[in-house]
Structure 1
Amino acid sequence: MLPEVQGWLRRRTSSAGDWNIRDLVAAKGETTVSVVLPARDERETVGEIVGVIRRELDALVDEVVVIDSCSSDDTALVAARAGAKVHAQGEILPDLEPLSGKGEALWKSLAVTSGDVLVFADADIRKFRSSLVFGLLGPLLGDPGVAYVKGCYDRPLHGAPNGGGRVTELVARPLINLHWPQLAGFVQPLAGEYAGRRSALERVPFLTGYGVELGLLIDLLDLAGLDAFAQVDLGSREHAPQSTEALGCMACQIMLAAWSRLERQGRITAGPSPSPRLAQFRRTETGYDVCTKDIHIDERPPMITIGTPLTGRAR
């Protein structure tokens, strides 16, 4: 690990227990905070998450916004009843060609939120705790030099305290250490819980698939430098695990995200682009079936280039 990264780890890593709500409310001043939950078919968990934030962080969080990504259940209704502002992903910036994926929901949230600081959290977290939000706000409200904060945590799976995070360990961490060693100090580079200043987030592009987290790390590093980052130990995080097949698609999108940034940085010579198709195999009674999936990712430009989108906020 680079010496500068070791120094950053000591200087910019804290834990949720280092921050308390009363002190953060005092430090908040006139700063406004939006919490964004991208959600698709998360009726079982989204209401509890919104409720915890509303009950325990009302003095700290100015709005809770759920971006409903074409749910087939009543995620939107559950979230609204719990106190969230709910926006259908497809109805935000309707003049733009619609794209799909988590990154699209996060990018569009910039157009319908008002906070100076945004906290992103996944909507499938079980046993949600308010520290998953206020822990991320600690470095941002406590230090104006911090622009972006990533959460890190244990990821229990099948009884193992850190059985989750397979794509991180097998794909993302090797790529980061090989190509962006300044980012090697992040314990959970793909964590879905992170926060940033609008002034930074609006100035970088967003990849639309599961590569959004890696893309943001790389692009914000270029924009603001390592010392503008911090990470906070949030304890543990539990959610429904995905199948190995689904993780394979996620891994491919992480690789495509890395390729796009290497190409943009001039570190890949001109040549054929990676295939956006992934062939996977399923056992059947007669052998194997081939299942081919489209795993391409798109990219949205920095929101600041869009002009004045659908929002009541002055830009």
Structure 2
Amino acid sequence: MRADVRRWLHDRTYRVTCWEPEQLLAAKRRQGATVSVVLPALDEEGTVGAIVTALRGALVERHPVIDELVVMDSGSCDRTAAVAQEAGARVVHVDTVLPGHGRVPGKGEALWKSLHATSGDLVVFVDADLVAFDPRFVVGLLGPLLTDPAVGYVKGLYDRPLTTTEGLVPSGGGRVTELLARPLLNAFWPELSGFVQPLSGEYAGRRDLLESVPFASGYGVEFGLLVDLARLAGVDALAQADLGTRQHGHQSDAALGRMAGQILQTAMARLPGRTTASTELLQFVRTDDGVEAVSWDTGTIDRPPMREVRARAGHGGRRP
């Protein structure tokens, strides 16, 4: 292991048990900071309500750490928006934010537009498909930001149980991380190889940093943020927090392949001396007539830093 990675792991890996909500609330009030929590969601009516309810009960009502709880709806066809609103979140439809910039499909678009739709000094992102959600996830992500001014961005790390035909096994989730993201980081950005879950959907950052980097439009958003923020602020400004166990739904191998294609495109766009590469991904399905090829476009678009968007608009307001 590289000496710098060993040192970073020791200095910048935290545990959720280091903080209690009342400690963070006191630190937040001393600093006069505000916190926004964002849940990007697409057809997550089965889980989003429980997450919002848990966050409101623990970190809005009991300990008012969260000032703003927002669900960014990316055009759900189910009752995601209604369930989230009934549970107490403010629901924002992606198409209503910065309409002059149009809409690009993908998770990264919702995260990027959420910066314009929220106002907190600290922004926490939480995936909306988590099962048995623990609001301490947010406590663990905010802890380093509220107690160490040198930390600007915190990724969650956790065990990821995998649902199999034999039942739930304690590990095995995160296949794209192990097969693609980790090899990419070790090969091209080895200073970031200490991140246990580089693609985790739970992370938090200071607004000024998040608004200073581009957001990849698709599933490459987490990988892109990690590389871009390290380049901007330095690896020591980045940290990770052990949140315990994360449970969520699992996608098919074919869907993970398309996700991997977007992450690969995002990574290649950040390599020095990058060359143009095909964004077409061919996958194959068995039919009655044999094997049929299905073509997917895995290209991604980098949305510009939100700071630049505001500057071009001629104002500094955070909401449309």
SS in 2 for 1:95: helix
The residue aligned with 2:6 is 6
Could you report, residue by residue, the CA deviation over 1:250-300 in whole angstroms, capped at 9, with x for unpaired residues? 1111110110000xxx343xx4x2111111011122211111111111110
The residue aligned with 1:127 is 132
SS in 1 for 2:110: helix
Q: Tell me if structure 1 keeps the 8 A contact 2:116–2:319.
A: no
What code does the residue aligned with 1:141 have? L
Q: Tell me if structure 2 keeps the 8 A contact 1:113–1:311.
A: no
Q: Tell me if structure 2 keeps the 8 A contact 1:65–1:87.
A: yes
Q: Select which of 78, 98, 108 maps to 2:103.
A: 98
Q: Tell me if structure 2 keeps the 8 A contact 1:156–1:162.
A: yes
SS in 2 for 1:44: coil
Q: Select which of 298, 301, 304 maps to 2:304.
A: 301
Q: Select which of 244, 262, 265 maps to 2:253.
A: 244
The residue aligned with 1:169 is 178
The residue aligned with 2:22 is 22
The residue aligned with 2:153 is 148
Q: Does 1:220 align with 2:222?
A: no
Q: Does 1:195 align with 2:204?
A: yes
User: CA 1:160–1:314 in structure 2 vs 1: closer, same or farther (change >3 Å)?
Assistant: closer
Q: Tell me if structure 2 keeps the 8 A contact 1:112–1:311.
A: no
What code does the residue aligned with 1:77 have? A
C-alpha RMSD over aligned residues: 1.6
1:266-285 map, 5 Å: 266-268=272-274, 271=275, 273-285=276-288
Identity of aligned residues (%): 55
The residue aligned with 2:41 is 39
Q: Tell me if structure 2 keeps the 8 A contact 1:67–1:89.
A: yes
Write the distance in 1 (CA, Å) between the matches of 2:225 and 2:111. 11
Q: Tell me if structure 1 keeps the 8 A contact 2:125–2:204.
A: yes
Q: Does 1:68 align with 2:73?
A: yes
Write the distance in 2 (CA, Å) between the matches of 1:183 and 1:11. 14
Write the distance in 2 (CA, Å) between the matches of 1:312 and 1:257. 29
User: CA 1:92–1:311 in structure 2 vs 1: closer, same or farther (change >3 Å)?
Assistant: farther
Q: Select which of 85, 103, 107 maps to 2:90.
A: 85
Q: Tell me if structure 2 keeps the 8 A contact 1:149–1:229.
A: yes
Q: Select which of 105, 111, 118 maps to 1:113.
A: 118
SS in 2 for 1:288: strand
4+ residue runs over 6 A deviation: 308-312
TM-score (norm: length of structure 2):
0.94
Q: Does 1:181 align with 2:184?
A: no
Write the distance in 2 (CA, Å) between the matches of 1:24 and 1:124. 26
TM-score (norm: length of structure 1):
0.95
Residue 18 of structure 1: CA displacement? 1.2
Residue 196 of structure 1: CA displacement? 0.2
Q: Tell me if structure 2 keeps the 8 A contact 1:13–1:233.
A: yes
Q: Select which of 254, 258, 261 maps to 2:267.
A: 258
Write the distance in 2 (CA, Å) between the matches of 1:254 and 1:18. 32
Residue 142 of structure 1: CA displacement? 0.5
Write the distance in 2 (CA, Å) between the matches of 1:139 and 1:224. 16
Write the distance in 2 (CA, Å) between the matches of 1:94 and 1:35. 22
What code does the residue aligned with 1:172 have? A
Q: Tell me if structure 2 keeps the 8 A contact 1:38–1:123.
A: yes
Could you report, residue by residue, the CA deviation over 1:37-94 in whole angstroms, capped at 9, with x for unpaired residues? 0000000000110110000001100010111001001111111111111111011001
Q: Tell me if structure 2 keeps the 8 A contact 1:33–1:116.
A: yes
Q: Select which of 274, 282, 287 maps to 2:290.
A: 287
